[in-house]
Structure 1
């Protein structure tokens, strides 16, 4: 509850009372004395009245939807009920909200009979991801004469989750441009056993490295191996969360949005998506549909940069790739870490197909030389490049590498 204060009318009445008291002392008039006491004490009595005569209200808060992408609006619904045995007078109300959501202008609150309820609605919108605490509801009342007012906090606060915006990336991408002719397999096994290799007829555009010579000799026609996988394919994303500058990085916000867009795109294609961080672990690891996209976006909403470096992110990514047999798509999203931070990641190219690094800043671009020397495809994704454009650049660069005959980081 805020402290009761006089209104403008209350200040004027109080000032008139002080003048009347001064006149009573100057002229020795008893009537002025009584008038002065009345005018002076009335605003004080009104302040006491609004302070102690607190409304007995309950508030039930809900959001539709419970979480929204950055920039979208959520409908806030407040069901206010008068639990008192007396009618609640008319108020003005607003909802407490952080600066990122914006101030909610005071609005009129209807008078409620005992037991009655009223529903208040407004739209909350935040342009940046995060977990924002809305509430409690603030109501403000005045006395019947309008001499004093007082504010009250009613109900509890509730978190509104604003997730990063996952932008559709369109059809095709670097994960579908592996240099395997016109028949790239989304579901493939990196190290198939003998009973998992199924020969089929050669089709124009099939890579010669997939020709199965024994089956070709037996059937008298060119056969290629079609590799199948017994479970969903895996893809991995490594997000740079280490902050090396004093100022907040807008590049990191774009990196989180790009990560969200890539992960949701891969999930829709049927991948199991694993996410690693260069800083301390805050994400759960591996995500899959159904539901994995919502869990990932909710965790990315609260993700922040930190100064502390995990130190073992390359090792964790290596273990994940080795456990999956290698050959999985890997995407690096580089923000603030300098080139030397990626020295241990470069050799992991031989376990990744494709291997793409998105360079989100000038600092990240210092790693280009070492990454490209190790066989990684590097794509500039600075402030002028949105997520779909960066994804299209990566796909085009991967197709160019495939046409040039690069396989697994080697020229064949």
Structure 2
């Protein structure tokens, strides 16, 4: 929920150019009345007709009086917007709720409400609100839908005040904006064990640095703030200083999800492009592994990581860590775009200094040099799974594995110990994930893959 500038006066505060802006709010009807009044007054002066002069003055004064009344009216209204939800996947709808409160002692007139939204979310919503009584409120809502990832600003909210005769309209806006985050679509994945994965498979497990027994305990020196109930008195008597027992420290298996964002490695654009598939697949894999107990970080070819910090610590955080990390990963993937880099060296440097654990990579097109570099990333990883976009298949709409060049790159990765799979258009990630759990020695273009592409299983 966000408040739009507190409770700004919808009638507007008087400014040096306030009268000029009020006169610019004359409607077509108001301008017509003013022009007719001036013309009638001029004709009355030329012809010497007093009655026509009275009519001209009436026509000219009426719109000016409406401007003055509307400009001097001190209505105070407050606007509130909230999103439900504020983070939605691609192709899903979000509902935006607006509430207008009249916080003044006077009733408002007819209000026209308009909210600014990016054109990719649809047309600008407009509402007409009837008279709002003092301390009253009106609530309206509209829906937005986006087919592309990103952050979309909503607002500012604008109100149009109109007089009963329709002679003048004044626009007053609020300053606060909200942001709708459209994240990649997350596909549920089957709970398979990936080839080469270490025992324990992501379960949050504990590693005891020292047992709490009396004989085999490994104590450490007392530090300010330690609980006195952890004092180990036998060791204290032995060493002549306060010693405390070490506690069990929880350890989590960790995983790195590598996303290749190089512009030179991807072709095409739009929701059905291979790059968008890779972004959605990276989000699906990261969320799936988080739910299974992994400490997950996202790594791109530029060397940037989300979340930051030491990826190899493996320590378990508070209970909210998984939800917070998932939100951070999805927010980062919502705005990720093509990088201008030409190689995977920055990502390799990051993995070389802290790359132990499971590695899941989503590569674009690999040349011979980058394939060799990607193969060396496997050295410190307990298990490594690579999904390589088969660009000939994406370009021609054919099955995965159609390009001989892609097969050569897969062979290089497999010889280095990767579980490497070619990715063609239309194949669900869940099918590829299940195939990776079975070993994934070669791309599957048989009946199972065809059924996965069409969504029909026997």
3-state SS of the aligned residue for 1:176?
coil
Separation in structure 2 between the aligned mates of residue 44 and residue 360 of structure 1, nearest angstrom: 68
Give the drift of 1:316: 0.6
TM-score of the two chains, using structure 2 as the length reference: 0.65
Q: Is the Cα–Cα contact under 8 Å of residues 387 and 422 in structure 2 kept in the other structure?
A: yes
The superposition leaves residues 68-113 of structure 1 with CA deviations (integer Å, 9 ceiling, x where unpaired) of 2222223323332212221122312122211222224311224222
- After superposition, residues 13-412 of structure 1 pair within 5 angstroms as 13-21=33-41, 23-24=43-44, 27-53=47-73, 55-154=75-174, 156-172=176-192, 175-178=193-196, 186=201, 231-244=251-264, 250-279=273-302, 281=304, 283-285=306-308, 289-308=322-341, 311-321=345-355, 324=356, 328-335=357-364, 340-352=369-381, 354-360=383-389, 362=391, 369-375=408-414, 376-395=418-437, 398=440
SS in 1 for 2:322: coil
Q: 2:253 touches 2:294 (CA, 8 Å); kept in 1?
A: yes
Task: Please give the secondary structure, in 1, of the residue aligned with 2:104.
Answer: coil
Task: State the distance in 1 between where 2:268 and 2:423 align.
Answer: 20
Local SS of the residue matching 1:167: coil
Taking a change above 3 Å as real, the CA distance of residues 59 and 334 of structure 1, as seen in their structure-2 partners, is same
1:308 to partner: Cα distance: 4.9
Q: 1:379 to 1:26 in 2, by over 3 A?
A: farther
Q: 1:22 to 1:294 in 2, by over 3 A?
A: same
Distance in 1 between the 2:164 and 2:25 partners?
Answer: 15
* Aligned equivalent of 2:16: none
Moved more, 280-289 or 143-152: 280-289
Secondary structure at 1:86's aligned position in 2?
Answer: coil
Q: What SS does the aligned partner of 1:273 have?
A: strand
- Aligned positions, number: 352
The alignment's C-alpha RMSD in Å is 3.6
> Residue 374 of structure 1 aligns to a residue in which SS?
helix
Q: Would the alpha carbon gap of residues 269 and 280 (structure 1) be closer, same or farther in structure 2, given more than 3 Å must change? A: closer
Residue 226 of structure 1 corresponds to which residue in structure 2? none
Structure 2: which 5+ residue stretches go unaligned? Answer: 1-11, 13-20, 208-249, 315-320, 395-402, 444-458
User: For the Cα contact (< 8 Å) 1:243–1:336, is it kept in 2?
Assistant: no
Q: TM-score, normalised by structure 1?
A: 0.72
- In 2, the alpha carbon distance for the partners of 1:386 and 1:46 equals 63
Cα deviations by residue, 1:193-213 (Å, 9 ceiling, x for unpaired): xxxxxxxxxxxxxxxxxxxxx
In the TM superposition, residue 297 of structure 1 has moved relative to its aligned partner by 1.4
Contact 1:368-1:378 within 8 A present in 2 as well? no
Cα deviation 1:252-279 (Å, max 9, x = unaligned): 3322211100111112222222221112
